[in-house]
Amino acid sequence: MAVLFALSPSALSAATTNVSFGSFFFNPKIVTISPGDTVVWTLGAGQAATHTVTGTGSDVICGSGVIGSGCQHTFSSAGSFPYICATPGHAGLGMTGLVQVVSPPPAPALLTNLIRLPNGQFQFTVSTTANHTNVVQASTDLKTSNWIPIGTLVPGSKSFVFTDTNAPGFSLRFYRVVEP
């Protein structure tokens, strides 16, 4: 008997992060988001609309012009994106900020289509991240210390088929795939 142990990848969706600004502040000063997320800068209540959200690196963010009541920008790639208010003197008085765009780790591998072959071997399909090392592990129980590697692959696509040639010698076998 074999049991398949798999984790399902979760769907990720774009998010919006809000930053308020006014006389000599961005709040919060540092935000951490994922690629594809949007940051919305909104003028605080009672604040003068004389500010900018100007990127100081490769991304101009909202540009060097006064933005009035606010602006927004979607960040498509990972990296650190510093910005300032370019109104003379404002950055020197603390009107600076940073957007950190961090790529999430790859989704865990998903094991499907487990079948016992006529010769007693087990075969299954692994959906995973292409071009990353995948270590197929097996165990006869689910204790964390009993997993042994039975194969290492670097698939060129998002899935591969794996056959456990040692399965006929076991009455019970669990599988998982890890990306070290």
CATH number, domain of 68, equals 2.60.40.420
* CATH code for the domain in which residue 144 is found: 2.60.40
Looking at the structure, tell me whether residues 26 and 91 fall in a common domain.
yes
Sign of CA dihedral 44, 41, 104, 111: positive
Total domains, the chain: 2
The radius of gyration computed from the CA coordinates of the chain, to the nearest angstrom, equals: 25
Say whether 146 sits in a helix, a strand or coil. Answer: helix
Structural domain harbouring 29? 16-101
Strand partners, 159: 127
Mean pLDDT of the chain: 90
The predicted-structure confidence for 55-77, as pLDDT tens digits, reads as follows: 999 999 999 999 999 999 999 99
- On whether both 97 and 112 belong to a single domain, the answer is no
* Judgement on whether residues 91 and 109 belong to the same structural domain of the protein: no
Clarify whether residues 73 and 119 are in a common domain: no
- The number of C-alpha atoms within 13 Å of 44 and in the hemisphere containing its C-beta is 11
pLDDT tier at 8, thresholds 50, 70, 90: very low
Name the amino acid, one letter, at 9: P
**Residue 53, φ and ψ in degrees, nearest 5:** -125, 90
Using the 8-state DSSP alphabet, how is residue 13 labeled?
-
In the prediction, which pLDDT does 90 show? 96
Query: Among 86, 101, 116, which residue terminates a domain?
Result: 101
